[in-house]
Amino acid sequence: MEGFTVWFTGLPSSGKSTLAGLLARALRERGRTVEVLDGDEVRRELTRGLGFSREDRDENIRRIAYVAKVLTRNGVVAITAAISPYRAARERARAEIGRFVEVYVSCPVEVCMQRDVKGLYARAVRGEIPQFTGISDPYEEPLSPEVVVHSDRQSPQESLQRILSYLESAGYLQPGMALVPVPAYLAGRLRRRWGDAFQRRLVEVLAAHAEGEGEPVSPEEEQQILVRLRSLGYLD
Amino acid sequence: MARRLLIIGLDCVPPDFVFDRFDTPTLRALARRGSFGALESITPPITVPAWACLMTGRDPGALGIYGFRNRMDYSYDRLAIATSAAVREPTLWDRLGTRGLRSIVVGVPPSYPPRPLVGQMVSCFLTPSARSEYTWPPELKAELESRFGEYLFDVTDFRTEDKAALLRRIYDATAQKFAIVRHLMTTRPWDLLAFVDIAPDRLHHGFWKYWDPQHVRHEPGSPFRSCFEEYYAFLDRQIGALLDGLDPDTAVLVVSDHGAKRMDGAICVNEWLRREGYLVLRDEPRGPQRLEPAMVDWRRTAAWGEGGYYSRIFLNVRGREPEGMVEEGFYDRLRDELIAGLEALGDEQGRPIGTRVYRPEDLYPVRRGIPPDLIAVFGDLYWRSAGSVGIGSVWTRENDTGPDDANHAQHGMFVACGLPLPPGEVRGMRLLDMAALLARYFDLDPAGQEA
């Protein structure tokens, strides 16, 4: 399976790490190999010594993007959760990585300040942290991110579903629990029948089938198979 | 250049039968021209998951297929048979189909109900009856029946004591399978032709004691003492006839899903669980019988097991099973306890037998569906698992479901010609490596992304 990078961006305490964790878990449940590059951990392990000047922030993002690129080209899903405040740096990361999904975790700064998960806003307001994004340093909102989630009015689960839906519709993820390719001839036939709704209808049909009972054999047939498996000693 | 591949699947064939023990000139000549060796199966080495893993390159956890039946939910009784619908990862023919390449698939488990593909499919031994719709496209069924009579999807009445009749049916099944394959391969265009003959497995289970002096119920001087030797010579001739009609550029893979070994006896897993106090029944069973959920006092039961050739053991967890009693915090300790107890269990005299009990997470990095809480492989596969209760002992030398002489072994075999492998004996091959090898042969995306 091909890798890709999900690049979370947003203000401090907007919910990037929470969503990155939820997404990682959901993707692992689908059998994907996932690595989360969380901003705090990256600054501790990969970019120790860098500060918060524009130059240092760009260098921080450049290194994260490089690691994400390496992971992505090796079939891993890389999830980054760093503020990444500057548009130009994010665009460079996009260009370098290629299979890149930008998720903007939108949240008004007042709400982030109320949350203030790490107590940093309070310190920034007191002037203890210079160049704090959202207070004393700019945050440049993405102009055309693949996904926008509003963490002030959506639950983390709703946001997660929005991200997963995008990943499925864009072909990064196969719908459902597994990769089920449709033979070319059948895809052609269904496209002719369903037109633009092909992808959506296919997902609906698959979902309905999966929800049904997943057992396409009739009860009578199932009984016949059971009797044979039992006589073969496979069951009891 | 267009590439073609013929996969001859021989269920349950161990490497020594083909490479050392029996007279198999065709297979040995093929091995001399190409590569060959033992093939390590999956755990558990059992037919349906093993073939599904071979054809998809995914392990049982990734497929969510842990045996012939899998739990549908955490109730005590809802188990789904692993039919073709359970395979939710693309098989080799699914992947070739996305490229417009054509496949003929005959009898590869699990392939009932037959699934649409670019090509033809005849379903496997899971076919309920000859009345079922067992071909794709559906009209193929009538064509096959007009030429070959009723489709022998399996060897019927396998537990009979009429061994002469059983042996005839085993030969009939093999002969018909090869005849159907010869017909399809000469009347249809194909890039992949994959088929599985289940009959060797049935031969091993039905006749092992006659030829192996080490078998606990060996009958010296039996008229069936040379039936293995004769059958393998017959099978080898069938393969020879098939290869004779083949374009020499076609790659050939002869492969088995697991091996076979004599069966020394059975461990009655539920009798052990009862003896140790993990499983409590409402009433003492009157004689041997299958364990049914209604017989169990669930509020006092911590674990129960399913039989078959290996055992799936389930814990009765509070908040998970309907009447669960094992506290979640005790789950891992209980599993450790069961593993230690079962692995220490020897034979009737207490001699060690080499039982291994696995946690599913030890075996499979990803676990879809509902895996068993433990997977027990008894006595280095010289012992099978019996799920019946009321046997009165943890050990039985009699099989609880009728005569059966053999068990599965961890290593099957392969012979490959024309595939990208080094020549001669290749050591360390695993069944799970095969799909990637075949993908490479067809220049498919190794990551399986051609869809």
CB contact under 8 A, B88 and A226: no
Instruction: Tell me which chain A residues have a C-beta less than 8 angstroms from the C-beta of B290.
Output: 236
Q: Look at residue A25 in the predicted model and tell me its pLDDT.
A: 87
Residue in B closest to A217 by C-alpha: B113
* Residues B207-220: tens digit of each pLDDT: 999 999 999 889 89
* Residues A56-112: tens digit of each pLDDT: 999 999 999 999 999 999 999 999 999 999 999 999 999 999 999 999 999 999 999
Which among A1, A178, A217 has the least Cβ separation from residue B449? Answer: A1
Q: In whole angstroms, how far apart are CA B258 and each of A55, B94, B108, B263, B265?
A: 60, 24, 14, 15, 19
Instruction: Tell me which chain B residues have a C-beta less than 8 angstroms from the C-beta of A31.
Output: 62, 366, 368
Distance from CA of A7 to the nearest CA of B (A): 23
Q: Look at residue B218 in the predicted model and tell me its pLDDT.
A: 92
To the nearest whole number, what is the mean pLDDT of chain B? 93
Residue in B closest to A181 by C-alpha: B451
Q: Look at residue A178 in the predicted model and tell me its pLDDT.
A: 40
pTM: 0.71
In contact, A68 and A46? CB cutoff 8 Å: no
CB contact under 8 A, B158 and A235: no
Interface contact B269, partner A, CB < 8 A:
no
Rounded mean pLDDT of A24-30?
84
Q: Look at residue A181 in the predicted model and tell me its pLDDT.
A: 56
**% pLDDT > 70, chain B:** 97
Burial class for B371, CB neighbours closer than 10 Å (0-12, 13-18, 19+): buried
Instruction: Tell me which chain B residues have a C-beta less than 8 angstroms from the C-beta of A217.
Output: 81, 83, 112-113, 128
Q: Which of residues 117-176 of A touch B (CB under 8 A)?
A: 176
For the beta carbon of residue A128, count every other beta carbon within 10 angstroms. Answer: 10
Between B449 and A190, the higher pLDDT residue: A190
Q: Worst-scoring range by mean pLDDT, A77-86, A208-217, B372-381, B420-429?
A: A208-217
Rounded to the nearest 5°, which phi and psi values hold at B62?
-65, -30
Q: Which of B91, B93, B98, B157 to mutate to test the interface with A (most CBs of A within 10 A)?
A: B98
Interface contact B447, partner A, CB < 8 A:
yes
Q: Which of residues 25-54 of B touch A (CB under 8 A)?
A: 46-47
Interface contact B401, partner A, CB < 8 A:
yes
**Pairs of CB atoms within 8 A across A/B:** 121
Instruction: Give A212's pLDDT tier (boundaries 50, 70, 90).
Output: very low
* Residues B125-152: tens digit of each pLDDT: 999 999 999 999 999 999 999 999 999 9
Rounded mean pLDDT of A179-192?
68
Q: Which of B65, B126, B398 to mutate to test the interface with A (most CBs of A within 10 A)?
A: B126
Q: Look at residue A215 in the predicted model and tell me its pLDDT.
A: 47
The contacts found for B285-294 with CB under 8 angstroms, 24 or more apart, are B285/B389, B285/B390, B286/B390, B287/B390, B288/B388, B288/B389, B288/B390, B288/B391, B288/B400, B289/B388, B289/B389, B289/B390, B290/A236, B290/B387, B290/B388, B290/B389, B291/A236, B291/B387, B291/B388, B291/B389, B293/B76, B293/B77
* Residues B77-121: tens digit of each pLDDT: 999 899 998 898 889 999 998 888 999 999 999 999 998 888 999
In this predicted structure, the answer to whether residue B27 has a pLDDT above a threshold of 90 is yes
Distance from CA of A16 to the nearest CA of B (A): 26
**% pLDDT > 70, chain A:** 88
* Residues B192-245: tens digit of each pLDDT: 999 999 999 999 999 999 999 999 889 899 999 999 999 999 999 999 999 998
Q: Which of A73, A74, A217, A222 to mutate to test the interface with B (most CBs of B within 10 A)?
A: A217
Burial class for B373, CB neighbours closer than 10 Å (0-12, 13-18, 19+): buried
In this predicted structure, the answer to whether residue A213 has a pLDDT above a threshold of 60 is no
CB contact under 8 A, B83 and A215: yes
Q: Look at residue A182 in the predicted model and tell me its pLDDT.
A: 64
Which of B203, B195, B193 lies closest to B172 in space, CA to CA? B203
Q: Look at residue B405 in the predicted model and tell me its pLDDT.
A: 87
Distance from CA of B239 to the nearest CA of A (A): 26
Instruction: Tell me which chain A residues have a C-beta less than 8 angstroms from the C-beta of B88.
Output: 176-178, 180
Burial class for B272, CB neighbours closer than 10 Å (0-12, 13-18, 19+): buried
In contact, A113 and A121? CB cutoff 8 Å: yes
In contact, A203 and A175? CB cutoff 8 Å: yes
CB contact under 8 A, A225 and B128: yes
Q: Which of residues 100-129 of B touch A (CB under 8 A)?
A: 100, 112-113, 116-118, 125-126, 128-129
SS3 A235: coil
Query: What is the complex's ipTM, to 2 decimals?
Result: 0.85
Q: Look at residue A233 in the predicted model and tell me its pLDDT.
A: 81
Catalytic residue among A13, A17, A84, A159: A84
Q: Look at residue A30 in the predicted model and tell me its pLDDT.
A: 74
Q: Residue for token digits 């009157």? A: B286
CB contact under 8 A, B97 and A184: yes
Instruction: Tell me which chain A residues have a C-beta less than 8 angstroms from the C-beta of B95.
Output: 181
Lookup: tokens for A59: 């260098």
Instruction: Tell me which chain B residues have a C-beta less than 8 angstroms from the C-beta of A211.
Output: none
Q: Look at residue B403 in the predicted model and tell me its pLDDT.
A: 64
Active-site residue flag, A165? no
Q: Which of residues 151-170 of B touch A (CB under 8 A)?
A: 154, 157-159
Q: Which of B89, B269, B292 to mutate to test the interface with A (most CBs of A within 10 A)?
A: B89
Rounded mean pLDDT of B320-346?
96
Interface contact A226, partner B, CB < 8 A:
yes
In this predicted structure, the answer to whether residue B407 has a pLDDT above a threshold of 70 is yes
Which among A176, A185, A222 has the least Cβ separation from residue B118? Answer: A185
* β B192-197/B103-106 pair status: parallel
Q: Look at residue B451 in the predicted model and tell me its pLDDT.
A: 41
CB contact under 8 A, A215 and B46: no
* Residues A191-209: tens digit of each pLDDT: 788 776 766 677 667 665 5
